[in-house]
């Protein structure tokens, strides 16, 4: 592989979602829309492991339990006609912590500062990696400021046995129906199955996809061996922001490879404060602060300071590289 596949001039700010960008869980508008008791739903989810264990299931994928339980609510008629379109519409009702989404644009503006554009061409990109629902995030107010979203997906159209010889294939091959029409129709249908799952462990895969640039260059496989100097976003240019112990796998990957990690907690929540402090004491994060993103808050200032520090490091590395590759001009000798 050739050297300098990517210029490595990008700072990636990677966010968890629930309790990091919003006070609670993103599904709240969904439950409100259908009149479902939110607390009862999550209590049921917590009890599912024991429910299935008692019925003889030894290996349980706990991270998909809430997704399957939501599908059960759809099938039982408690969330009738829940579709991708409705999930996206309900995402527009998600309420964010103070200062958001404006803070995302403020962070991106760092890259517009003259000293970074003049020489290094630095860019700041925001990513969300969440165990929540991708369509709701894409429908939320934060979506326009985000470069990419990794989260769970549902499907409405499942491939039935023999589907390769079916009518849909024939129609598509004859161009009698466009892909856009198929997508529009599918988005309006009730969800019936799980299409993609992100859990607290596989979040790390998303981090490596950002690192290697597979989200921008599909021909690059996330498992491919790529020299550090050829990766799109080095870990040293990454900042991961999340709320708790479930994010430890990502905190560890980012910090171990030279990136920065920051924990947030809701104002006034002593239990969450202790949790964030424990993460700092154990070396899981570099710092922590309240989930308040308004100008002047500790979290606002720390993130801005850290992103600027990464931008400065990129610029310094670029200047050194230029000095090493460009020889001194000859001068007249006296």
Domain limits of the chain?
10-23+91-149+199-325
Q: What angle do CA 177, 180, 181 make, to 5 degrees?
A: 50
Owner of token pair 């161009």: 175
Q: What is the pLDDT at residue 1?
A: 38
d(CA 132, CA 150): 9
* Residue 91 token pair: 């995402």
- How do 148-155 and 193-196 pair as beta strands? antiparallel
- Report the C-alpha gap between 202 and 194 in whole angstroms: 16
Whether pTM exceeds 0.85 = yes
Residue reference for tokens 């590289």: 321
pLDDT tens per residue, the chain (334 residues)?
Answer: 344 666 678 999 999 999 999 999 999 999 999 999 999 999 999 999 999 999 998 888 888 899 999 999 999 999 999 999 999 999 999 999 999 999 999 999 999 888 887 766 889 999 999 999 999 999 999 999 999 999 999 999 888 887 777 555 545 554 556 778 878 888 889 999 999 999 988 999 999 999 988 888 777 777 777 777 778 899 999 999 999 878 999 999 999 999 999 999 999 999 999 999 999 999 999 999 999 999 999 999 999 999 999 999 998 877 776 666 665 556 666 6
- Give the helix ranges, DSSP H, for the chain: 28-34, 38-54, 65-75, 84-91, 102-108, 114-119, 134-138, 167-173, 179-188, 203-212, 248-256, 270-281, 298-325
Q: What architecture is the 10-23+91-149+199-325 domain classified under in CATH?
A: 3-Layer(aba) Sandwich (3.40)
Q: Return the structure tokens found at 79.
A: 């969330």
């Amino acid at each position: 592989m050739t050297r300098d596949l990517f210029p490595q001039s990008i700072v990636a700010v990677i966010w968890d979602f629930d309790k990091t960008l919003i006070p609670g869980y993103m599904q709240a508008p969904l439950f409100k829309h259908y009149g479902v008791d939110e607390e009862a739903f999550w209590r049921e989810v917590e009890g599912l492991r024991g429910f299935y264990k008692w019925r003889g299931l030894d290996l349980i994928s706990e991270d998909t339990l809430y997704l399957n339980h939501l599908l059960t609510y759809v099938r039982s008629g408690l969330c009738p006609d829940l579709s991708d379109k409705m999930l996206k519409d309900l995402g527009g009702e998600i309420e964010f912590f103070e200062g958001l989404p404006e803070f995302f644009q403020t962070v991106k503006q760092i890259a517009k500062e003259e000293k970074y554009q003049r020489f290094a061409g630095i860019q700041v990109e925001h990513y969300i990696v969440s165990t929540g629902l991708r369509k709701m995030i894409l429908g939320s107010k934060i979506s326009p400021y985000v470069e990419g979203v990794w989260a769970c997906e549902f499907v409405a159209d499942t491939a039935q046995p023999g589907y390769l010889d079916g009518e849909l294939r024939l129609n598509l091959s004859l161009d009698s129906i466009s892909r856009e029409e198929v997508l529009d129709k599918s988005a309006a249908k009730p969800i019936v199955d799980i299409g993609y799952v992100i859990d607290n462990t596989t979040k790390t895969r998303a981090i490596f996809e950002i690192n290697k640039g597979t989200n921008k260059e599909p021909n690059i496989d996330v498992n491919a061996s790529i020299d550090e100097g050829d990766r799109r976003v080095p870990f040293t240019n990454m900042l991961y922001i999340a709320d708790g112990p479930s994010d430890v796998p990502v905190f560890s990957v980012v910090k171990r490879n030279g990136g920065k990690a920051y924990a947030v907690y809701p104002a006034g929540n002593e239990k969450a404060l202790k949790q964030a402090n424990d993460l700092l004491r154990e070396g899981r994060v570099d710092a922590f602060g309240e989930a308040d993103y308004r100008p002047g808050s500790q979290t606002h200032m720390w993130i801005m300071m850290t992103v600027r520090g990464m931008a400065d490091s990129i610029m310094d590395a670029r200047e050194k590289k230029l000095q090493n590759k460009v020889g001194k001009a000859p001068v007249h000798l006296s």
